[in-house]
Copies of this chain bind each other. A is one copy, B any other.
Amino acid sequence: MKKHNFSAGPCILPKEVLEKASQAVLNFNNDNLSLIEISHRSQPFVNVMDKAKKLIEELLEVPKGYSILFLQGGASLEFLMTPLNLMKNKGKAAYTNTGAWAKKAITEAKNIGEVIIVGDSSDKNYNYIPKGYKIPSDVDYFHCTSNNTIYGTQMKEFPPCPTLMACDMSSDIFSRQINITDFDLIYAGAQKNMGPAGTTLVIVKDEILGKTSRKIPTMLDYKTHINKDSMFNTPPVFPIYVSMLTLEWLKKLGGIKEIEKINQQKADLLYKEIDNNPLFKGTANKEDRSNMNVCFLLTDNSKEEIFNNLCKHAGINGIKGHRSVGGYRASIYNAMPIESIQMLIEVMQKLN
């Protein structure tokens, strides 16, 4: 049975990417060697790394003066690397608190310096994006989370920022156009729109580094990885290769401008059903609704088992909501075809 994969991450990847990745594990580059058994310093893999970087440069229009890195440790390690690299000694930073991941980022930063919370939606279980806050100009940087996977909220605009802007874009990078020059540091775990779990994308403006007197441990210093082209130590070869394939697919499809349109159509379709169908209701504030993670509840919980069974029989996979919100979460990342969303809508309409 065909599966409709609504997983929040690791998540759906394009079929042609999976096919190429599977082939490369057997025989990469027609060299009769597997991708995963060659040296990361061999030319074929150096080419992969270069191509992946070049695709990101092109797709996101990254200007000169920014470095693109493939690291490890996910956003969770970036929660630590951000303050270590950007906070001055005895420095401070402004953070928005918009969900579980933002909160973890705040916790790590607090161990390094002072944290000022400038926008906080914890009062309503993070179901909205705080707005209208003012970022103090005397902080070392401002940090925000562009999309909150668990709660299905997304920043539609970024605030005017009188200081450096750092953003965790793990769950919506490559899904919509952004202006890179608005940001000084962007990071994202690969396992949503970029590739499989196991690598972290970092885009950092070179000139902001080296301004703290703090002694940064080698592996946690962005400059280490910039100086060695993400090859200070053995990089996660397979996740980087599959990311390259996914970015190639995105470019072929028409790039970010095109996928943004498609993502908007997909999200509109599903939210329309949620709003029109009396058996369902959305959990996020309407104007802050994420185009990546669509969170909704049944209005009548007694129908839960029936709905779950309908989903199962339709091959719908991974739509259980996060325990802190409950209900359902349909993650509709770049690689999710519109047909899968239509199938989900069909099932929602079958429920009565």
Contacts and interface: CB of A to CB of B under 8 A. Distances in A.
B196 A237 contact: yes
Interface residues of A, number: 63
A61 to B, nearest CB: 28
B18 A198 contact: no
Interface string A322-349: 0000000000000000000000000000
Interface string A1-22: 1110101111111000011011
Contacts of A7: 37-39, 42
B76 A232 contact: yes
Nearest to A83: B217
20 contacts: A5-B38, A7-B37, A7-B42, A18-B25, A18-B36, A19-B26, A22-B22, A22-B26, A36-B197, A39-B318, A42-B318, A72-B74, A72-B77, A74-B233, A76-B232, A80-B220, A104-B218, A198-B199, A198-B238, A238-B239
Interface of A: 1-3, 5, 7-13, 18-19, 21-23, 25-26, 31-34, 36-40, 42, 72-77, 79-80, 104, 107-108, 111, 189, 191, 196-199, 215, 217-220, 232-239, 242, 315, 317-318
